[in-house]
Each structure stands twice: as structure tokens, then as C-alpha cells.
Amino acid sequence: MGFKQGIKAWALQTRLENYFFTGPAQKKANLLLKLLKAVISYQVFLALLLPLLAGSNPVSQDPLPTDCSDIYANEQKVSGVYTIYPTGDTPVQVYCDMGSEGSLPQDGKWTVFQRRMDGSVNFYRPWEQYKKGFGNKYGEYWLGLENLYQLTLKRKYELKVDLQDFAGGKAYARYTTFSVESEVNGYKLHVSGFINGGAGDALQGHSGMKFSTFDKDQDTWKDNCAKSYLGAFWYGTCHHANPNGIYLWGKDPTLFAIGNVWNQWKDYDYGLKFISMKIRPVCENL
């Protein structure tokens, strides 16, 4: 190699070294090295963290309350409006009777599905509204047949019906079993095990009946009970009780059986001041 060739070789080597170690290629190499280190660090992080996550217990969450007894069990023991989940995921507001005034503390946990108190809500309504529910949970309302079905599908329930007249008299009827079938089966009622609290039994005669409204007649009478008696209920041919009838202000012989009556207590011509129908599970120590 001659002198000139040696100079050229040295110059080429110098340019190559400058390109790879101080030029753009070196900058790219440094960037790739940093990225490689970051990837390795992330892999090490995952390798250390994943076993810890796999061995840890998930954060536990309290199950959503199905009815008012679940709310009571969570130390919510004041009567009022709460949110329950009869179907498991859809919220429904309801009035929870956690113990009527003057009653024992354990006489609570009731899920109220029907209530009349002042005539502020019209109960002469079509099928779809009785299916879904209507009214004001702080006052008069109907919880909904589908909600009743979903509730009684999951647990065994008892029923209590509280009654009050316009003179301040009070009575109740209690039943040890209560359930409602699906819409396909007409939301058929099953109730038994009557316990008398002064009101008399006006309901067991309705057991086995499908629910009827003025636009969906499922009773066993030749005519439409709901239309004839201006209500909606588990009518047969037709009724001993009409809790969803027209709100009347006490006794009126001219308005026979169309009011919110409980025949075995005040006869067919006395509209009650207050009616409350409520359920709670029986498979627990109360």
C-alpha cells in the first residue's frame, strides 16, 4: 500500500468511526438501547408483580339488596324509601317498613308493595302500569307485578296487610306464605296460612286467581271484575277485598264494593283510610 492509499484508508476509517460513534447512527443506536432497557425493565416489573396479583384476594363487595330485609341487615333500620334490586341489576325504589310505630323492633324488614293513604294516586290503571308499577314511594304506590314475581321467585315470603279506618281503628291480616307466578301464568296469586290480627281473612279466597285490570280480564266471572268494581286485583267472581279500588272516605252504602274495601273487617261499603300490603322473607330468624 502506497502513502496516498494509506492516507485514504485512514481517512475512510476516521469517517466511519465518526459516523457510528458520534454521528446520526450513534444517536439511533443510543435510542434503541434506551428502548431496549425500558422493555427489559417493564418485563422485569411484570415478572415481579403478576405473581403478587395472582396470589391476592379480590376486593370484596357487598351484594346488592334484594329486598328491605337485606337493607335492615346492613344496619339501615329506619323506615323510609330505599333502593332494592329484585332482578339483581335493575334498581327499584321502595318503601321499607322497618318497624311500625309502637311495634316491636323485630317487627320490621317489610318490603311494601302496595299502599293507600290519602287518595292522591289513581289506582284505576291499565295492565302495563300494574306490571311495571306506579305512584309515589313516599306516599301511595304499587310496586309492580313483575317485581313481585322476581322477589317471590328467589325467596319464600310472608304477607302482612295493615288496615286503618277513619275513626282511628286499626287491624291487620297476616299470611305465612305469599308468592306470585310469572306473567305467562297471569301473575297468579298464592297465599295461605292466615293469622288474624282483627281484620279477618278477605284474601285466601283470592288465592289461585290471576291478576286482572280493566284492559286485561283474567278473572273467573262472566263479566269483567276490574271494570265492574273499578279496581285491579286477583279477582275471582269477584272479590272479598278490593285494595286497589276507588279511594273512598269511609262508609257510603251507595258505592257498594267499588272502593278500597276489606269486607271481613268493615263490609263492602266502607272505604278504608289506610291500606298497606307488605312482604318479608320467612327463611330467617326474625
Residues 81-107: tens digit of each pLDDT? 999 999 888 999 999 999 865 455 567
Contacts of 129 (CB under 8 A, 6+ apart): 142
pLDDT tens-place string over residues 173-198: 999 999 999 999 999 999 999 999 99
Query: Is 23 inside a domain boundary?
Result: no
- What radius of gyration, in Å, describes the C-alpha atoms of the chain? 36
Query: Is 62 inside a domain boundary?
Result: no
Phi/psi of residue 132, nearest 5 degrees: -90, -25
Q: What is the mean pLDDT of residues 252-270?
A: 97
pTM of full prediction above 0.85: no
Q: What is the mean pLDDT of residues 29-43?
A: 61
Query: Is 45 inside a domain boundary?
Result: no
From residue 123, alpha-carbon distances to 106, 264, 269 in Å are 31, 22, 18
pLDDT band at 16 (very low <50, low <70, confident <90, very high): very low
CB 143, CB 92: distance < 8 Å: yes
Query: Is 58 inside a domain boundary?
Result: no
pLDDT tens-place string over residues 111-132: 999 999 999 999 999 999 999 9
Counting every residue written for the chain, the total comes to: 286
Rounded-to-integer distance, Cα 197 and Cα 173, Å: 5
Count up the domains in the chain and report the number.
Answer: 1
Query: Is 154 inside a domain boundary?
Result: yes
Closest CA to 250 of 228, 272, 277: 272
Query: Is 38 inside a domain boundary?
Result: no
Domain CATH code at residue 220: 3.90.215.10
DSSP code of 185? G
Q: What is the mean pLDDT of residues 61-75?
A: 90
Question: Which residues form the domain of 146?
Answer: 68-281
Cell numbers 418485563 label which residue? 43
What local confidence, expressed as pLDDT, does residue 285 receive? 44
What local confidence, expressed as pLDDT, does residue 286 receive? 45
What local confidence, expressed as pLDDT, does residue 99 receive? 86
Cell numbers 290471576 label which residue? 210
Query: Is 46 inside a domain boundary?
Result: no
From residue 100, alpha-carbon distances to 112, 211, 226 in Å are 12, 28, 31
Query: Is 42 inside a domain boundary?
Result: no
